[in-house]
Structure 1
């Protein structure tokens, strides 16, 4: 299930974002979090497994022009490709339920990932 990242999850969020290839240091991670915090429509979401307190995925979304743009997808490094695919399909389904009137789209980087989730 989705958890909107709040101050209480800041350590979890920072840990997840540290796995992003383009966020190379603590300052970059903090700037990324601030960028999402400065707009009430942008959200960093953590995917929490129902039967545990584990957060294997973090995504960044931004509603734009009738769509929901998935700006960032970060998986925990220990996940297999099969687990990523399963979680991705589940997350995509939950996004469509959460935003029933908007299309779900990605950036140049995230769209290919979303496409693989849709294709399986």
Structure 2
């Protein structure tokens, strides 16, 4: 299940972002958080596999009129497997049923594998 970012979740989101190489630098991390606090074009969702579980990851997206761009996924170490990635992507597709989901080059193969498995 995906939960849209709100300010109350900021520290949780920052923790998940810090798993990603680009955000190990505190300046980059703070700049990224500004995107989510200042514009609707960039959105972040927290992910939990079941409603009664803690958050185990995040997904960052960029919204355009034509599509949703998957920017990154960050999962807790114990949840870094294809099944959790695919479940998160399924939730993302469900959240935006009328939009095509595309991915940055880093996540293109994951999205392609997910699409092939689910529509293939």
Shorter-chain TM-score range:
0.7 to 0.9
1:85 to 79, 82, 86: 82
Distance (Å, rounded) in 2 between the aligned partners of 1:72 and 1:104: 12
The residue that corresponds to 2:4 in the other structure is 4
Larger fraction in helix: 2
Q: For this pair of structures, how many residues does the alignment match?
A: 117
Structure 2 portions without partners, runs of 5+: none
Distance (Å, rounded) in 1 between the aligned partners of 2:69 and 2:51: 28
1:111 to 100, 105, 108: 108
The residue that corresponds to 2:24 in the other structure is 24
The residue that corresponds to 2:37 in the other structure is 37
TM-superposed CA distance for 1:32, in Å, is 0.8
Output aligned runs, 1:46-61, within 5 Å: 46-61=46-61
Given the two structures, how large is their TM-score scaled by the length of structure 2?
Answer: 0.85
The CA RMSD over aligned residues, in Å, is 1.7
Given the two structures, how large is their TM-score scaled by the length of structure 1?
Answer: 0.85
